[in-house]
Amino acid sequence: MAREIGPVLKRCRYLGIEPAVLGVSKKPSKRKRVMRKSSEYGLQLKEKQKVKFIYGVLEKQFRTYYKRAENMKGIAGENLLMLLELRLDNAVYRLGYGRTRKEARQIVRHNLIVVNGKKVNIPSYQVKVGDIIEVKESKKDLQRFKDVLDITSSRIVPQWLIADQDNLKGTVNSLPTREQIEYPVNETLIVELYSK
């Protein structure tokens, strides 16, 4: 299984993302960077890299998500972000059970999450409206989740999810809309890049 490893803060600085978007509490250095003027293609590519980095998706999987988004009704860019938001690892992160998406992905991979009463250990699993996501009953008393909830308690759970922090349970209330995805992303540039 491939995954992206590398200096997170350096990459955030290059892509122009606040580390808080990824759940990282550190601040990047205030070093001045000499930025060259980017071409239109460079801007589109950077936007695609930004979305891939935020959600922790590699190129082949990202291209598959884009093809699915293109075949759905509606605007392809918004559909793409909706599909990425509906990943199980992202839903676990948004519910506050992981400090970062990488930690949420690890929680899913380690069989700690149950969807509708069934064990699911695939981070890319697409949750649907009405799905109940919860921590496995035998693992709810772990100190790990108490520590994580203390840190993520100030994080706002999006409107498309209903969180029950006491029982470590969440429900997918509706499909996420573009207004509920507050990341600084211009999805039309990604559509332009792939439509060439």
DSSP letter string over 167-181? Answer: TTEEEE-SPPPGGG-
- Same structural domain for residues 52 and 26? yes
- Same structural domain for residues 134 and 69? no
CATH code at position 49: 1.10.1050.10
- Same structural domain for residues 149 and 187? no
| pLDDT 10s digits, 82-112 | 999 999 999 999 999 988 888 999 999 999 9
Read off the amino acid at residue 34: V
Query: Is pLDDT above 70 for 2?
Result: no
CATH code at position 146: 3.10.290.10
- What is the residue range of 139's domain? 87-172
CB atoms within 10 A of CB 185: 21
- pTM exceeds 0.75, yes or no: yes
H or E, element range at 142? none
> Which of 135, 134, 131, 133 is CA-nearest to residue 173?
131
Query: Is pLDDT above 90 for 81?
Result: yes
Query: Is pLDDT above 70 for 38?
Result: yes
- Same structural domain for residues 47 and 92? no
Quick check: is 2 in a domain?
Answer: no
Quick check: is 124 in a domain?
Answer: yes
Mean pLDDT of the chain: 86
- Same structural domain for residues 79 and 148? no
Query: Is pLDDT above 70 for 119?
Result: yes
Quick check: is 104 in a domain?
Answer: yes
| pLDDT 10s digits, 133-143 | 999 988 888 88
- Same structural domain for residues 80 and 95? no
Band of residue 187 on the pLDDT scale cut at 50, 70, 90:
very high
Query: Is pLDDT above 90 for 66?
Result: yes
Query: Is pLDDT above 70 for 31?
Result: no
pLDDT of residue 26: 67
Quick check: is 57 in a domain?
Answer: yes
H or E, element range at 93? helix 88-95
- Same structural domain for residues 39 and 116? no
Quick check: is 142 in a domain?
Answer: yes
- Same structural domain for residues 98 and 166? yes
- State the total domains in the chain: 2
Beta bridge pairs of residue 114: 119, 134
